[in-house]
Every structure is written in structure tokens, then in C-alpha cells.
Amino acid sequence: MWSRALRNNLKLNQIRGASTIVKGEPEAPVVKTDIPGPKSKQLLQELGSLQQAGTVQMFVNYDKSIGNYLVDADDNILLDTYTQISSLPLGYNHPELLKVFNDQHNMKCLINRPALGVFPGDDWPKRLNGILSEISPKLPNITTMMCGSCSNENAFKNIFITYQRKKRGENVEFTAEEKSSCVVNQPPGAPKLSIMSFKNAFHGRTLGSLSTTHSKYIHKIDIPSFDWPIATFPQYKYPLEENQRENEEQDKKCLAEVEELFEKYEKKGIPVAGIIVEPIQSEGGDNEASPQFFQQLQKIAKKNNAYLLIDEVQTGGGCTGKFWCHEHFNLETPPDIVTFSKKMQMGGYFHTAEMTPKQPSRVFNTWMGDPGKLIILETVIKVIKEQKLLENVLHTGTMLKIGLLELEKEFCYYVNSTRGRGTFLAINATDSNLRDEILTKLKAKGIQSGGCGTKSVRLRPALIFQEHHANIFLDKFRQVLKEIK
Ligand SMILES: Cc1ncc(COP(=O)(O)O)c(C=O)c1O
């Protein structure tokens, strides 16, 4: 049975016909060879002789790819529901983006890449102000970075710097001992502090962010990690409406553990300065938690004088139907930091004024972002607004969710636990072998999709994914499940 909320949502969003947003898209996938095909295999051999290329699935023809369709080196045309690991907001070769660098000023910003922390272009403050006023989740400041991992990594530094400044007292100078001890990694200058994270979280692979990543051993093995607390993230049962009591118990148990870990790490002498959390744990299996969970988590952080960092690297940019997923949670105040990357094209974070270091050079690197990417982001935001793409996401997402729930009913021995917001959706297979088989079979039918966690299929289409694309995906998914049956 579809839930009442889904039906109402559908009625509210009867807004789009079947006409495609990006002109010139193919009407359906076309598979001509095995994937990877002979050309991709040959290129893989070439690349493999230069580097470890074991993660490469296929080579792509970026000239021919268009809209929601990726064209590979062997001319296979795939409907892309995974979009470069969830990072293409407008699909391939969107006409508005193709025009961006015809503008000579924009082109000069692209080729004269500045060291933004030292020699920003004379339009940089205006451009940042534009981004803040268009899409900031009610936070007044922005720091730009290169990628998701380094955004989290540098955001941790802002948290530690602010935590220590508060402890030391505003405007109190660093002591001589602090200055000399920090350069040899010793307290008091290099204090013992921690960031709390959650089991199954993914926050990146650089050294600091990796200490808060807990999704797969292959990301972490052989790499030293900080002794930082790791709390349990809720694991809900589906459908949510039928498991409310149990899921609420999950929230309570996990929040109690968060409180215990604050105490435990205070006693250990490694106090918790901040908490990092994804609004929906993505790489770790599309695990959701309720708005109430996040509201309570924020309260606990505040009570313990710790800061809340919401990692919107994967969930941000409109794919949940709101620009930021945490906007679904109705938090008392905005989080202290919200990190972004992927669909935003550039890494970085929005933050409170309190998080801004008082001294220069404390959070810094050569490029600190890329004006060329910010120029692309400006056009992405314009297109999202003009073409009402968040409404499109809600409409398509509702259709997709209804379709997945129907498949669950029909193939209950194979798939279950449909979940998510907007088009940021997932469904579980009964085990990881079956999940992998589903992904392989979908690809053979011209659907590029992705997995997450141990047994989930995740959907991460572009914001231009429409009802007719959803129907193709659902139809192929059904064929795959039938073949298994
Ligand atoms: C939630 C989240 N945080 C951080 C990252 C790391 O981003 P990047 O791969 O750009 O370093 C990812 C990447 O998948 C992510 O999903």
C-alpha cells in the first residue's frame, strides 16, 4: 500500500508533463556490447599500466553523453541513475553550462587560477556573497575548499580552533609553551580533543576525515587513526509507519550512547569538541534517522559545549527535494557547520561567525577552492530555480518511490526497505550477492546504478531526472527481478 503522504505528495506535484528538460536526449538506453566493451577494456589495460585502475567501470565519451544519458567508449548509451557518484546536478552537457565559458571574463577566471587565500580576483567577495544569499542554510559565512574530504578535514580544524578559543578566553594570547609544544605535536599547544562520528559513516579519505569514516575496511586498513568516539547510528525497520515504536527506541538508544561517549571521552582526557553526521548516511547504506533524532543530537551537542557539523557532501544540492537535506529536520538553530562538495562542483562549508578563526593562515591552502567551479555553480543554481528542479525532484522522487514499493510487494523475496527523500532513494536486496547481481544485470540493460552499504541499491540521478526516466528505470528493474525469479 502506498502511504497517504506519498499519494498527497503526488497530487501536489502533478506539475510536469513528459517533455524532456534537456533537448537532444536519447529516448531509451541502447546496449551494443558487453559493458565494459572492447574499447573500454583496451583503455583499461593502458590506464592500468600507469596506475591502480581497479575501480574503473568503463570509459566515457563526454562529447556524446547528454542529459541523463551517459555514452561509453563503445557507444553504449546508459540511463545514468548514479551520475558520477552523485555529483552531476544537471546531467551531461546541459546547454546552459556549455555557454558559461563563452564569456571572456569567465574564461579568464578559469585559466588564471588564483591562490584564493592571497590573491583573490576583484569579483570574488561579490561572487561568494551571491552564493551565500542564494543557497546558504541560514549560515552567514563560507569557506571554500577543493573536495568533500578536505572540506570536512578543514571544518574539524575550525571546530578545534573555536573550542580552544572559548576555553582560553576571547582575545587571550597563545602562551610561549603552547607555541613551542604545538610544533612538536605535544599538548598544551596540540591539545587532546576529538570529533564524535557514527558507525557506518563516510566523511572522506584524508587522514583526519578518515578517522570519522567507518563504512568499509578497505578505506582504512594500514592507516593510523585518532582515538575518537564512534556512536551507533539508528538502524530503522521498514516500512516506517509499521515500525514506529521500535524505530523510536533506536533513536533513544543511540542518543543515550552519544551522551555516554561525551562522558567517557571527557574522563579519558580527550573531550569531544564536535560531532560530524550525515543527514542520510550515504556510502554506509542510505541509513536514515528521524528529524527528532537530529533535533535531540543538536541539543546534546549544545549541552556539552560541542559543535554540530552536518556533512551534506552527498545529500546537498537539491536531490532530497530541499536544497539541504537537514532542512527537512526543523532544527532549533542552523548547525554550526554544513560541508558541501559533489553537486556543488566545489568543496567548502557554510558556518557561523563564531567558527571564523581570529588569526589568518590557520585554515588555508594554495587554491582554497576554484573560481571556475564557482562560476559553474552559479549557473547550476540559476537553472535549478528557473526550471523549478526541486519540484521536479519531488515529483520524480515520489513516482520512483511508489514504483520501488510496488516492486517490493511483487518481489518481496528479493527486495525490501525502500527509503529516502526526493530522488535520493535506496532499496535493499536480501544479501550482497543479490545486490551485486542486480547492479550487473541493470547495467547489461543500459542502466547505470550504484550500490551502498552491504546490500543496498542507491539512486542518485541528476535533478533533471523526470517521470519518463523513472519509468524506464523501474521497467528495467522489474525485468531484472523477473529474471532472478
Ligand atoms: C557524505 C560524504 N562526505 C564526504 C565525502 C568525501 O568527498 P570527496 O570524495 O570529494 O573527498 C563523501 C564522498 O562520497 C561523502 O559521501
SS3 of 474, please? helix
Amino acid (one-letter) located at 379: T
Backbone angles phi, psi at 213, to 5 degrees: -100, 130
In this structure, what is the dihedral angle of CA atoms 395, 396, 400, 403, given to the nearest 10 degrees? 70
Other C-beta atoms lying within 10 Å of the C-beta of residue 150: 20
How remote is the C-alpha of 182 from its chain's centroid? 33
Other C-beta atoms lying within 10 Å of the C-beta of residue 220: 15
The question of whether 340 is a catalytic residue gets the answer no
440 in Cβ contact with 34 (< 8 Å): no
Q: Which of 484, 174, 121 is nearest to 358 (CA)?
A: 174
In angstroms, the CA 462 to CA 377 distance is 14
Residues 257-268 have a mean pLDDT of 98
Residues 180-194 have a mean pLDDT of 98
Amino acid (one-letter) located at 122: D
307 in Cβ contact with 159 (< 8 Å): yes
Q: Is the CB of 343 under 6 A from ligand 1?
A: no
Whether residue 356 has pLDDT greater than 50? yes
461 in Cβ contact with 83 (< 8 Å): yes
Q: Which of 138, 27, 86 is nearest to 422 (CA)?
A: 86
Ligand 1 atom with the smallest distance to the CA of 315 is 1
Residue 342 φ/ψ region, left for φ over 0, alpha for ψ in the -120 to 50 degree band, beta for the rest: left
Residues 450-454 have a mean pLDDT of 98
Contacts of residue 448, Cβ cutoff 8 Å, sequence gap at least 6: 70, 78, 79, 80, 81, 82, 442
Residues 460-481 have a mean pLDDT of 98
Element spanning 263, H or E: helix 244-267
Share of the chain above pLDDT 90, in %: 95
Cα–ligand 1 centroid distance for 223 (angstroms): 18
- Grid cell 582504512 in the structure block, residue: 220
The question of whether 294 is a catalytic residue gets the answer no
In angstroms, the CA 316 to CA 399 distance is 21
Q: Is the CB of 250 under 6 A from ligand 1?
A: no
pLDDT at residue number 20: 82
> Which domains does the chain show, CATH number per domain?
148-356 (3.40.640.10)
Other C-beta atoms lying within 10 Å of the C-beta of residue 157: 14
Task: Respond yes or no on whether the N-terminal peptide bond of residue 239 is cis (omega within 30° of 0).
Answer: yes
Strands (E), 292-336: 307-311
Closest protein CA for atom 7 of ligand 1: 148
Contacts of residue 121, Cβ cutoff 8 Å, sequence gap at least 6: 109, 114, 371
Whether residue 11 has pLDDT greater than 80? no
Q: What is the pLDDT of residues 39-70, one digit of tens each?
A: 999 999 999 999 999 999 999 999 999 999 99
The question of whether 156 is a catalytic residue gets the answer no
69 in Cβ contact with 30 (< 8 Å): no
Residues 137-166 have a mean pLDDT of 98
Grid cell in block for residue 447: 542502466
DSSP letter string, 35-52: SS-HHHHHHHHHHHTTS-
422 in Cβ contact with 394 (< 8 Å): yes
Q: What is the pLDDT of residues 388-408, one digit of tens each?
A: 999 999 999 999 999 999 999
The question of whether 482 is a catalytic residue gets the answer no
Grid cell in block for residue 472: 524506464
Ligand 1 atom with the smallest distance to the CA of 201 is 1
In angstroms, the CA 402 to CA 427 distance is 12
Q: Is the CB of 151 under 6 A from ligand 1?
A: no
What sign results for the dihedral spanned by CA atoms 287, 291, 293, 294?
positive
Q: Which of 72, 76, 78, 93 is nearest to 24 (CA)?
A: 93
Cα–ligand 1 centroid distance for 276 (angstroms): 13
In angstroms, the CA 41 to CA 33 distance is 11
Q: Which of 198, 202, 340, 411 is catalytic?
A: 202
* Cα R_g (the chain), whole angstroms: 23
Whether residue 16 has pLDDT greater than 60? no
Cα–ligand 1 centroid distance for 339 (angstroms): 10
Whether residue 15 has pLDDT greater than 90? no
Backbone angles phi, psi at 314, to 5 degrees: -95, -35
pTM recorded for the entire structure: 0.96
Q: What is the pLDDT of residues 95-124, one digit of tens each?
A: 999 999 999 999 999 999 999 999 999 999
